[in-house]
Amino acid sequence: MAGRLILGIETSCDETAAAVYSSDDGLRSNVLYSQTEIHKEYGGVIPELASRSHLEKINSIVRRALEHGGVTLDVIDAIAVTVKPGLPGSLLVGLSFAKAIAWAKKKPIIGIDHLEGHIFSSFLEKSLPFPYLCLSASGGHTALYLVKNFGEFQIIGQTLDDAAGEAFDKIAKLMGLGYPGGPLIEKYAQEISFEDFFHYPRGNPHTLDFSFSGLKTAVLYDLVKRGWYDLPAKSLLATMNFENKKQVASSLLVCISKMFEQKIELALKEFSYVRGISFVGGVACNRFIKAKLAQLANKHNLPFASPSPAFCTDNAAMIAFVGNYKAEQNKFDTYSLDIF
């Protein structure tokens, strides 16, 4: 049967996910329950609600992943589970569940770094030659990596404050667009053809590190300056109309895209020997930024990989994929595996 079979489990934030990956035929199933509806009304993830929801869903999600994969737990060769980084209560639900079934069925367990999952998520659909540059951007992290091999990567630049997705989410909240902000900003910007109306600051072009909190403050003060935001009252004013919101969304998207392009260009100068570029994480759902980075790669004659949206946002397929090469390298953990 189908080479090595890995069951992947992911519960680091607000998605309860499980997947089955086969070393022979690739991804066999990928099941996910998103808690977005639960957290929407609060404008962000509430940790206590997240772990409770994981607890309710984990059993059925794992069962479904096994069923869809046409396997039972008995034929699974190893269980890969996210152990860091993430919300402690959420991580503990996935890990405790994974340990319990691993112990009951005497299966090996492998603790996975969620960020490593994102980095290698692009391989679920397309292989890139090593070494290559990876830009990983989501709600919790933003970093540039030099990827040397499976499981071998080095951070060459990272955010000094907020993550890119967080900037989208916080600015969308400021404008009362809703949560999560990234997809909404894209929707608004799309209607106005991604023009750069307000030229927001793009940070220091001479470093590979990112900073997004300055951008958030710059947008806030620009809104105040234009008479669209009441700073003491912390509220948006009715003077800001629908068209203005589209202009801000569009300018923000162009700004973040330019920041990414700038960093990648700089990294390509420093690491001129790289053989490809990948763009991963929740923000890589953004079609505008994806297209800009694909153009950049093309300009440098480098292959470009960026996963479909289902593999950009949190998922267990990427966890099972990393679990597969770790199993191949005999990197198993003991049953005393813990989070962080």
List residues binding Zn ion (CB under 5 A).
138, 314
Q: Where are the alpha helices (DSSP H) in the chain?
A: 36-40, 47-68, 88-105, 114-120, 164-174, 181-190, 213-225, 242-270, 287-299, 309-312, 317-328
Please report, as residue ranges, which positions from 153 to 182 form the binding site for ligand KG4 (by CB under 6 A).
165, 168-169, 180-182
User: Per DSSP, what are the bridge partners of residue 137?
Assistant: 142
Residues 13 and 45: their CA atoms lie apart, in Å, by: 8
Under 8 Å CB-to-CB from 294, ≥6 apart: which residues? 304, 306
The answer to whether residue 116 forms part of the interface with ligand KG4 (CB under 6 A) is no
Catalogue the long-range contacts made by 329-333 (C-beta closer than 8 Å, 24 or more residues apart). Answer: 329/150, 329/151, 331/110, 331/151, 332/78, 332/108, 332/109, 332/110, 333/108, 333/109, 333/110, 333/111
- Evaluate the CA torsion angle 225, 230, 236, 241 in order and state its sign: negative
Three-state helix/strand/coil letters over 170-204: HHHHHCCCCCCHHHHHHHHHHCCCCCCCCCCCCCC
Closest distance between ligand KG4 and the C-beta of residue 306, in Å? 12
Structure tokens at 76: 């699974």
Residues 146 and 133: their CA atoms lie apart, in Å, by: 5
Binding site partner of 183, from ligand KG4, Zn ion, none, Cβ cut-off 5-8 A by kind: ligand KG4
- Closer by beta carbon to ligand KG4, 315 or else 324: 315
Pairing of strands 152-158, 142-149: antiparallel
Binding site partner of 165, from Zn ion, ligand KG4, none, Cβ cut-off 5-8 A by kind: ligand KG4
The answer to whether residue 22 forms part of the interface with ligand KG4 (CB under 6 A) is no
- Closer by beta carbon to ligand KG4, 73 or else 220: 220
- Chain-centroid distance of CA 113 in Å reads 13
- Chain-centroid distance of CA 179 in Å reads 16
- Closer by beta carbon to ligand KG4, 95 or else 285: 285
Binding site partner of 283, from Zn ion, ligand KG4, none, Cβ cut-off 5-8 A by kind: ligand KG4
Binding site partner of 139, from Zn ion, ligand KG4, none, Cβ cut-off 5-8 A by kind: ligand KG4
Among positions 35, 82, 257, 313, the unique one binding ligand KG4 when judged by CB under 6 A: 313
The answer to whether residue 307 forms part of the interface with ligand KG4 (CB under 6 A) is no
Element (H, E) at 21: strand 15-22
Closest distance between ligand KG4 and the C-beta of residue 76, in Å? 25
- Closer by beta carbon to Zn ion, 47 or else 214: 47
Candidates 42-50, 71-79, 134-142, 239-247 — which segment interacts with ligand KG4 by CB under 6 A?
134-142
Structure tokens at 220: 């806030």
Contact 278, 311 (CB under 8 A): no
- Closer by beta carbon to Zn ion, 13 or else 240: 13
- Closer by beta carbon to ligand KG4, 224 or else 310: 310
The site map against ligand KG4 for 270-289 (x = CB under 6 A) is -----------xxx-xx---
Among positions 117, 183, 307, 323, the unique one binding ligand KG4 when judged by CB under 6 A: 183
The answer to whether residue 10 forms part of the interface with ligand KG4 (CB under 6 A) is no
Among positions 108, 111, 131, 139, the unique one binding ligand KG4 when judged by CB under 6 A: 139
Q: Please give the residue ranges that form the binding site for ligand KG4 (CB under 6 A).
A: 13, 138-140, 165, 168-169, 180-183, 186, 281-283, 285-286, 313-314
